[in-house]
Amino acid sequence: MFKKKNDLYLSDKQPLTVTGKIGIGLSYLALLLWAVAILWPLFQMVVSAFNGFQVQYLILNRDFEFSLKHFKYLFEETLYLKWVSNTIFIAISTAVLSLAMVSFTGFAYSRYRFKGRKASLMAIMLIQTIPTFAGITAYFTMHSIISSVIPAFSRQMMLILIYSAGGIAGNTFILKGYLDSISTELDDAAKIDGCSSMKVYRLIIMPVARPMLAIIALWSFIGPFMDYLLPRVLLTKPESYTLAAGLFTLINDFRTLNQPAFAAGGLLTAIPIVLMFILLQKQLVSGLSKGSVKG
C-alpha cells in the first residue's frame, strides 16, 4: 500500500488504469495459452512413450500402464543406436568445423580493414536469405565431383560440409557484432607487451568471446538433430540416416509404423542436446569475466 498525501502516490510508478489492467490480463492470458500449446504436446509425447496401452497409433486416452516396451522396440527392432551415432558424429563435426572457421572470420572482420570487406559482409547477409533446400541439385553435383576425386568422401561428410558452410555466414556476422563491442584497448595493450596478432586472437579475443562461441557451438550442434529434409534427400541408406530421418520412418512408412516408438525416440533425442547445454552453460556465464582478467 502506498501512502497518500494530497491524493498523490509516493511512488515513481503511476497506478494502473482500468485499460492497463485489462492489457496485462490479456498478456498473461496469451502467455498462458502459448505455454499450454507448447507443453501439452510434449506432455502427451512423454506419456505415450511410457504408456503400455499404446499399440501402433497414438491414442489420447485416460488408461495408462507404465511400460518400456516402446523403448525396447526402438533399440531392438530399429537402427536407433546407429542413427544416434551418425547424428552425434555429424553434430560434433559440424560444431568443431563451424567454430574453427567462424572464430577466424569473425575476428578478421571485426579487427581488420581490408579491400572488399563491406562487399563481402553484404554478400554474407544475402547468403542467409537463400534457403538450404534450394541447393539440393548443386549438392548432388558437388558430391559427385568430390567423390570422383576422393572415393572415401561419403554423403555424411557432404552433409557436414553443408551444415558447416551454411552456418559460417550467419555466425560470422553474429560473432563480428559481438567482437565489435569489445574494446580494442585490450588488443593495443597486448601488442605493447609484444603479442602478435595470433596471440591477441588466442589469448585476448577468444577468451572474451567464449560466451558467443559457446552459443554458436550449441546452435551448430543442435542443427543436425532438428533437420529432416537434407538427410532424407542426401542419405539413401537407412543405416546412414540421422535421427530425424530415421525416426520419421516410424510414422510415414506403413511397414515400420509405430507412433509410440517415435514418441520414445523423440524423447531420447533431447538427451544429447540437454547434455550439450549443461556442458556449455558454465562457458556462457564465466567466459566474459575470465577473458577480461586474462586481457
Contact 228, 245 (CB under 8 A): yes
Alpha helices in the chain (DSSP H): 18-50, 69-77, 80-111, 117-127, 136-149, 155-180, 185-192, 197-199, 206-208, 210-226, 229-234, 243-252, 259-294
DSSP output for 124-174: HHHHTTS-GGGGHHHHHHHHHHHHHH-TT--HHHHHHHHHHHHHHHHHHHH
* Model confidence band, residue 288 (pLDDT cutoffs 50, 70, 90): very low
Check pLDDT > 90 for residue 28: yes
pLDDT of residue 214: 87
What integer best gives the mean pLDDT of the chain?
82
Give 103-154 pLDDT, tens digit per residue. Answer: 888 888 888 888 888 888 788 777 777 776 777 777 777 878 888 888 778 8
Counting residues of the chain whose pLDDT is more than 70, the rounded percentage is: 90
pTM above 0.85, yes or no: no
**What cell was used for 217?**
557451438
Contact 48, 216 (CB under 8 A): no
Q: What is the mean pLDDT of residues 50-72?
A: 83
Check pLDDT > 60 for residue 11: no
∠ CA 223-227-229, rounded to 5° = 150
What is the dihedral sign for C-alpha 247, 87, 234, 230?
positive
For the chain, give every domain's residue range: 4-50, 72-294
So what CATH class is 72-294? mainly alpha
* Model confidence band, residue 285 (pLDDT cutoffs 50, 70, 90): low
pLDDT of residue 291: 44
pLDDT of residue 292: 46
Give 177-202 pLDDT, tens digit per residue. Answer: 888 888 788 788 888 878 888 888 88
Separation between Cα atoms, residue 262 and residue 78, nearest integer Å: 11
Separation between Cα atoms, residue 255 and residue 265, nearest integer Å: 18
